[in-house]
Structure 1
């Protein structure tokens, strides 16, 4: 006879509230035990989205080719290739594509009937790896009962043929066909991907990260590993003036102000007025011109205004960064204090032992005697901008979502996901960092960094914890060998103001040499409690230069880098438009994507993103839920329920066999 501890008995009593008798507990054991033998759900990995909302939406819709694969499996023997492409486009963009297809059909009612039938067949394939209850929960509430009936006709077709035909006919007769088509297209996309991983850098570079965030918030199952660009925006949302100035400087650099003003409702008029007044005579300097990624036509007046705004906020950024470095000696970044190294009379700056001429020497707001102090006008400007960032309801909602769904790393089904790096020394050891007289490295460093990043947003305003947390978010963005930045320093000052490009280098952490070695990757995985031949590291952050022959697969497949140039600004360097991963019940597939020609072209011409997929860790047998993290949780639950059954049968816990509670 097993004697339960008091704590265990208390837990079982709580469990008994949910499963009040032997029958209820037994039914749940049968249900959970069956789920263990279903195929694992498909995981979709994406990284370094950098605001490229159109490309993100398309790859999200086609699940890196998984949706098209389902269409091919069901219809390749019965439908020509052009019609299969057309149907795939309908699934990707049902609202946009539907009208065009209906208008082109000789008989709209017959087209509805055929299309509904084809979508139902694809739906059945996608739903076949899930329980009926899970598929039902994924359906839109308004159409749930009808779609559920149609999907699960099975052997009933002999007895219910006229019934099913009547359902389809009635849907068409009462003008609900389009609504049901849209519902089924969205259901297919939801069932194809069970869980989405975003391995960092949603923000900056591209035009509309806010649209991406809206879509992620609507996704049924997602986690996010913060990238350095994400934590910068998180810092800006805390009211960190240093992060706000840097966010604005980055946005102006890439001519990306629409998201600031339209997406988040943050007015830049105070910055424009300040810049136009203070830098009216010096804004023509090419070092502060914006990058025209899309070669959009912009007037000379627009470019001049942007350059003035860029210079104004860049000078403020350099000052505030200096204040942060002086405030936080633990960051070990004193060598990045450069404003006090400027010789204003000679127009030079000293960096280390060398002196360099400056491309621009007109800095009317910098006081050589106190170069990191904001002028009264700059101080007032930053107060206005800080208030605007704090009061942007949409930005704050997005950042709260990043905190709730995100972190610095995640262990999921044997894979370790992080954006930047595990900082290492030249001899291959985990680099040590000291904060508050305590030393951190490896996993402990990332755990500490995540805790401090959270206190930057959630600690009480005015406390030392809140201030250090805000400063630490900036450190994660660009600090020396930060686990999200992974470089010795960021050379923003040099790139803006020094012509000598040898000063622009940003030396990478030794991690980026060692991550090619299997032994090192195994050691990193072990640091996070993962071991086995099918464990991998999924890494973002550093674009893979595919055009130069670089492979995203490192250390004999132990580590995969999936930043291949999603951002259009990086594509000339990488030669492609990014990598994504799909981990389904048959193994891991890496997909390389060509640049996206745009949503309009995709809808009008049924053009998909050209992608090349390779399977580099294929399982010999199909992977079941019982082998996943969810499976481990279900097995623990089954064990608990079996203990509850035993407790009922021993009389230790009293059964409740009263009238069943009606379903809610």
Structure 2
């Protein structure tokens, strides 16, 4: 019969079995008092409401909209202000307060330019911000809030956050602190600190479910924001993986990244963000395509276009030049890896260059562009000497960009191909399936993988491609495979029969443009399939979900983001301006708070400048997806399970102390 410590319900035998570990733990908690205090602290945390999780996906370089959604916490800040102040503030006053919270530095400058009595304004505003701050900090321990406080104002903020202004004595105390802040000229800095604290506490955890890169102008700015964010993770999307492949030195990935930058007229991320020199490409394009209008390659630019007509023509020439190079490079990789089964992408040798036709599947298709000055019809996939030198220089720039390296380290440190968190399974695109809904087996280096094992192997390959020793066979294979993950039929981040890039550029036949999606994209609508996938990843909770992005939800056509009876949520709503005509909206945020799940649908964001000057917020509409009858506590989360394990270990340590197995240290 086991001998139990009656105070902890821990058997003495269990404590003895773990004695070596407990001796290490005793260095952190050297006395019974220390261990007891920590148990009390952890138990208290378990009984707090769970922190709010925000899920975003497919941001595609739209940094202004992304940053605004973080600042307003997908409309949560405005809802808090409405709850706190109700009818006591006019609509215009609430709008002004929200804008101040979002953009404190710029809004203060604007207010000081027209406000006649700044002292009175400071007093009113500081009291309002204290109330908002108290509200958003109420679900956290004082310790967690304290760690989030700016060092300069930590003590004062602690005093203000935990003092009630209802008590007349305390009200005088708070008023005294506020008056001192104003009289010492620290009001601006203090307001900025409080606004930043409100933003930080409103979102506890941020999940980015893939595709930070491409299309929009500021992926590098988004990465800067994320790398300095307090708590986030990333599930890599196909566009992220493409950039990771480019940073690892894969020539095909580099060519694709540059081509898409030209396609959307977005040179900012590559040139300004990462310092990659595009002059060699510009020089090459001017020389080779000087007599070519390249009209089919003009960049897709919107009303916010910053390029002159002359610059747009140069971008079109660069666009066409890198596109032809891309097709050549991809063909070389396809031939080197017959296991990719991508011979249907070898199209340059299917062209009748004299007649200007593509001969495919026994049919002839007229080409929309027949000027190919760098293609040798007898050896169409061979790079010219100039093209080889150009790619060598581009590769050097990508691999040696210090800023790109920093962002890649961030992507690897905080990212993965999938994530299981609080009974939710997050991955960007798909898990390959057979027609009957079973997991499809994919062969990688003569070994078969499916389901979770496939995603685990792909995660490993991606890391090997970037981190393994240069020159190793494993790294070479992994680096090549990065391109396959971008556009291969059995690649979970893609999962289509082809990427019809050539057909879209050079033919008018829309039948050739079609890309057939894998079975996952239809079968994910079935609850049984979603349950099977969740079970594969060890998730059996009835309130579990799969959360995807990748395929824009065409809200404008009545498509819904909630599928399979609520088991699967597709939250790509069109952050990218290129997709907004298809979706009819400008993105979704999924919010998982202690009361349940909520989906927020965003309208297009105009600009940060209009938000500051005119108080124009992103118009967001929220839909309750699931509402729990009982508030979800930290105890019910993955962090709660970790804390309960820590409590159990501490109780073992107490048993070891009380039975004399370990001596207390004074």
**TM-score, with structure 1 as normaliser:** 0.96
1:231 paired to 2:241: yes
- Tell me by how many angstroms 1:352 deviates: 3.2
CA distance in 1, matches of 2:304, 2:71: 28
1:320 paired to 2:329: yes
CA distance in 1, matches of 2:601, 2:551: 15
Write out per-residue CA displacement over residues 330-374 of structure 1, whole angstroms, 9 at most, x where no aligned residue.
222122111222222332223333332222222222233332221
Could you say what secondary structure the match of 1:49 adopts?
Answer: coil
Given candidates 56, 59, 62, the residue that maps to 1:46 is 56
Q: Bigger shift: 500-509 or 625-634?
A: 500-509
Write out per-residue CA displacement over residues 480-499 of structure 1, whole angstroms, 9 at most, x where no aligned residue.
13111121110001111112
Could you say what secondary structure the match of 1:142 adopts?
Answer: helix
Q: Bigger shift: 155-164 or 169-178?
A: 155-164
Q: How many residues align?
A: 656
CA distance in 2, matches of 1:92, 1:538: 28
- Tell me by how many angstroms 1:169 deviates: 0.7
Given candidates 356, 361, 375, the residue that maps to 2:370 is 361
- Tell me by how many angstroms 1:601 deviates: 1.3
CA distance in 2, matches of 1:617, 1:151: 32
- Tell me by how many angstroms 1:234 deviates: 0.7
CA distance in 1, matches of 2:306, 2:635: 56
Return 5+ residue gaps in structure 2 as ranges: 4-11
Could you say what secondary structure the match of 1:3 adopts?
Answer: helix
Q: Bigger shift: 68-77 or 148-157?
A: 148-157
Could you say what secondary structure the match of 1:30 adopts?
Answer: helix
Return 5+ residue gaps in structure 1 as ranges: 659-664
CA distance in 1, matches of 2:520, 2:226: 30
1:309 paired to 2:318: yes
Write out per-residue CA displacement over residues 46-95 of structure 1, whole angstroms, 9 at most, x where no aligned residue.
11000001101111111111111111111113111110111011101111
Q: Bigger shift: 121-130 or 97-106?
A: 97-106
CA distance in 1, matches of 2:499, 2:119: 61
Could you say what secondary structure the match of 2:591 adopts?
Answer: strand
CA distance in 2, matches of 1:263, 1:442: 37
Could you say what secondary structure the match of 2:426 adopts?
Answer: strand
1:84 paired to 2:94: yes
- State how 1:630-649 maps to structure 2 within 5 Å: 630-649=639-658
CA distance in 1, matches of 2:553, 2:547: 13
Structure 2 counterpart of 1:383: 392
Structure 2 counterpart of 1:548: 557
Q: Does the 8 Å CA contact 1:481/1:489 hold for their aligned counterparts?
A: no
**TM-score, with structure 2 as normaliser:** 0.96
Could you say what secondary structure the match of 2:395 adopts?
Answer: helix
- State how 1:137-536 maps to structure 2 within 5 Å: 137-154=147-164, 157-282=167-292, 284-294=293-303, 296=305, 298-536=307-545
Q: Does the 8 Å CA contact 2:546/2:568 hold for their aligned counterparts?
A: yes
Write out per-residue CA displacement over residues 148-183 of structure 1, whole angstroms, 9 at most, x where no aligned residue.
111111489555544332211111001100111010
Q: Does the 8 Å CA contact 2:255/2:323 hold for their aligned counterparts?
A: yes
CA distance in 2, matches of 1:65, 1:48: 19
CA distance in 2, matches of 1:356, 1:155: 77
Structure 2 counterpart of 1:572: 581
Structure 2 counterpart of 1:103: 113
Could you say what secondary structure the match of 1:203 adopts?
Answer: coil
Given candidates 5, 13, 33, the residue that maps to 2:43 is 33
Structure 2 counterpart of 1:598: 607
Structure 2 counterpart of 1:24: 34
CA distance in 2, matches of 1:391, 1:639: 48
**CA spacing shift, 1:314–1:604, aligned 2, 3 Å:** same
- Tell me by how many angstroms 1:298 deviates: 4.6
CA distance in 1, matches of 2:416, 2:518: 21
1:608 paired to 2:614: no
**CA spacing shift, 1:632–1:410, aligned 2, 3 Å:** same
CA distance in 2, matches of 1:315, 1:54: 33
- Tell me by how many angstroms 1:102 deviates: 3.3
